[in-house]
Amino acid sequence: MKYITEYRNKNLSRKIADKINNALKGYKGKISLMEVCGTHTHSIFRSGIMSLLSDKIEHLSGPGCPVCVTPNKYIDTAIAYSRLPEVIITTFGDMIKVPGSSSSLEKEKAGGGKVKIVYSPLESLEIARSNPEKKIIFLGVGFETTAPLVASTILTANEKKIKNFFVLSGHKLIPPAMMALLESGEIKIDGFICPGHVSTIIGETPYYPIVKKFGIPSVIVGFEPIDILEGIEMLVRQIAENEKPKVENQYKRVVRSEGNEKALSLIDKVFEVKDSVWRGLGLLPKSGLYIKKAYSEFDAQKKINVEIEKTKTHAKCICGKVLCGTKKPYECELYGKSCTPENPIGPCMVSSEGTCAAYYKFKK
Amino acid sequence: MCLAIPMKLVKIEGNKGIVELSGVKKEVSLDLLGEVEIGDYLIIHAGFAIEKLNEEEAKKTLAIWEEIGTLQKQ
């Protein structure tokens, strides 16, 4: 596969790992590097690259799994909608197993609720066309990578005058979450492995405040083993060699410094930025995307009333702490016992991007 | 959710494109991109092309590391 195989070359991986380990020879202490992307979490575990690196490097997973950071109230709202006879829920597959306060979309589906898994939000428009008597609600969950797709889908629905399509927007922005983790002071982070595809959309600029305010090196990194190792090498160079902290871009073959302006303009056209609740992090200022008034006819929350049950969270699930990097999955008493990917209690075990699922799959 | 494998653009029909990887073809929206040409490698996310791969940059990254390897051997 072109532009893939080359980035999985084992000899090259060793070369980069050697360079990192050499740079750390005289370094005293540990370096904690956090990735904020579920795809990075899984790529790091699957490739086993950490085993090539000095134990002075500690790898932390942050709030980079969209399904995981979505709070129970959102899931309960989606579940309540699925119980309305006139509604069909459309969603990416990893949402359906996520437990809400007392049910999940999967359970509702088994009980007759109408929930359809889609690969692309655009499929919701086809479902809307072939079910004119129904209201189709797409679950808009995801970061800056997904938000422009949903914005584009809303604009298409508007243009084609599709009146029975709605979005329940739970979209969130990554840089405010990174800032919140640093502001909390609860965890030592020496460098950020910034998410490749979020950065494809937003470019380099949104990370500047992280470097300016906290002096934390931030490197945009791709997803193959060579990419991640090269990204770590860039971070280690900044940290161990006392370079001035900066934003660097390892994934230049995909990420332009200005980002994808067309995608950004679609986000800006359809969504407005407001405060948003994250699992584990709580209410973060200016961290969520909500549908603007001009497109409110597509906003499920504005157009379709529903009663939501009182939100409950599992007393023992530590998913929130795992998302902040303050606890490891195996520190949870449910992990691998009553909570497994087949029977998940918390969202971090559900999603293919979740940290608990990655630990379970690759480490046990 | 992110699929990091670049797929080759083999057909363009208005704002839709057909991309291919190892014989598997897929229709994607080109709404988020500027100009594209047949033969471009695209990054796909949930039915949309979100960026065009810059082949020059792709080669550069690998070439730098190859060079470091050669120098170390000397």
Angstroms from B13 CA to nearest CA on chain A: 17
Chain B residues touching chain A at CB-CB below 8 Å: 1-2, 4-6, 8, 21-22, 29, 31-34, 41, 43, 45-48, 50-51, 53-55, 57-58, 60-62, 65-66, 68-69, 72
Is residue A38 within 8 angstroms of chain B, CB to CB?
yes
CB A200 within 8 A of CB A260: yes
Is residue A89 within 8 angstroms of chain B, CB to CB?
no
Q: Give the pLDDT mean for B42-67.
A: 88
Is residue A284 within 8 angstroms of chain B, CB to CB?
no
CB A195 within 8 A of CB A171: no
Q: What is the pLDDT of residue B70?
A: 61
From B8, B32, B66, residue closest to A263, measured CB to CB: B32
- Chain B residues with beta carbon closer than 8 angstroms to that of A248: none
Q: What is the pLDDT of residue B72?
A: 54
Task: Please state whether beta strands B16-21 and B24-29 pair in parallel, antiparallel, or not at all (unpaired).
Answer: antiparallel
Give the 3-state secondary structure of residue B71.
helix
A192 in the Ramachandran plot: left (φ > 0), alpha (ψ -120 to 50) or beta? beta
Is residue A2 within 8 angstroms of chain B, CB to CB?
yes
CB A104 within 8 A of CB A79: yes
DSSP string, A186-252: -S---EEEE-HHHHHHH-SGGGHHHHHHH---EEE--SSHHHHHHHHHHHHHHHHTTPPP-EEES-T
Angstroms from A179 CA to nearest CA on chain B: 23
Tell me how far apart the alpha carbons of residues A169 and A122 are, in angstroms, rounded to a whole number.
Answer: 15
Architecture of domain B7-73 in CATH? Answer: Roll (2.30)
Tell me how far apart the alpha carbons of residues A137 and A304 are, in angstroms, rounded to a whole number.
Answer: 10
Token pair, residue A341, equals 């990917």
Q: In sequence order, what are the beta bridge partners of B17?
A: B12, B28
B65 has a pLDDT exceeding 90: no
Q: What are the structural domain ranges in chain A?
A: 1-315, 319-362
Give the 3-state secondary structure of residue A57.
strand
Q: CA nearest B4: which of A313, A82, A225?
A: A225
- Looking at domain A1-315, its CATH class is alpha beta
Q: Give the pLDDT mean for A170-191.
A: 96
Is residue A66 within 8 angstroms of chain B, CB to CB?
yes
- Chain B residues with beta carbon closer than 8 angstroms to that of A92: 1, 46
Instruction: Name the closest residue on chain B to residue A2, using Cα atoms.
Output: B6
What is the ipTM metric for this complex? 0.92
- Chain B residues with beta carbon closer than 8 angstroms to that of A267: none
A194 has a pLDDT exceeding 90: yes
CB A356 within 8 A of CB A42: no
Span of A192-196, A295-299, B4-8 with lowest mean pLDDT: B4-8
Is residue A15 within 8 angstroms of chain B, CB to CB?
yes
Considering chain A, what is the average pLDDT of its residues? 95
Tell me how far apart the alpha carbons of residues A97 and A344 are, in angstroms, rounded to a whole number.
Answer: 8
B74 has a pLDDT exceeding 50: no
| Strand residue runs (E) in chain A | 31-35, 57-61, 87-91, 115-117, 135-140, 165-169, 191-194, 218-220, 247-249, 271-278, 282-291
Tell me how far apart the alpha carbons of residues A203 and A199 are, in angstroms, rounded to a whole number.
Answer: 5
Are A39 and B54 inside 8 Å of each other by CB? no
Contacts of A1 (CB under 8 A, 6+ apart): B5, B21, B22
CB B64 within 8 A of CB B21: no
Token pair, residue A147, equals 């938000």
Q: Give the pLDDT mean for B56-67.
A: 80
- Chain A residues with beta carbon closer than 8 angstroms to that of B21: 1
Per-residue pLDDT reduced to its tens digit, A102-139: 999 999 999 988 999 999 999 999 999 999 999 999 99
Rounded percentage of chain A residues whose pLDDT exceeds 70 = 99
Per-residue pLDDT reduced to its tens digit, A275-314: 999 999 999 999 999 999 999 999 999 999 999 999 998 8
Contacts of A309 (CB under 8 A, 6+ apart): A76, A80, A101, A102
End-to-end CA distance of chain B: 43
Are B33 and A262 inside 8 Å of each other by CB? yes
Q: Give the pLDDT mean for A204-220.
A: 97
Are A149 and B55 inside 8 Å of each other by CB? no
Whole-prediction pTM: 0.94
Rounded percentage of chain A residues whose pLDDT exceeds 90 = 90
Tell me how far apart the alpha carbons of residues A259 and A205 are, in angstroms, rounded to a whole number.
Answer: 9
Q: What is the pLDDT of residue B1?
A: 53
Angstroms from B10 CA to nearest CA on chain A: 15
Angstroms from B37 CA to nearest CA on chain A: 16
- Chain A residues with beta carbon closer than 8 angstroms to that of B53: 3, 253-254
Is residue A6 within 8 angstroms of chain B, CB to CB?
yes
Are A145 and B45 inside 8 Å of each other by CB? yes
Task: Tell the residue number behind the tokens 């949402």, with chain if given.
Answer: A95
φ/ψ (deg, to 5) at A191: -165, 150
Interface test with A, best of B30, B33, B40, B48 (most A CBs within 10 A): B48
Contacts of B6 (CB under 8 A, 6+ apart): A2, A3, A4, B41, B42, B43, B53
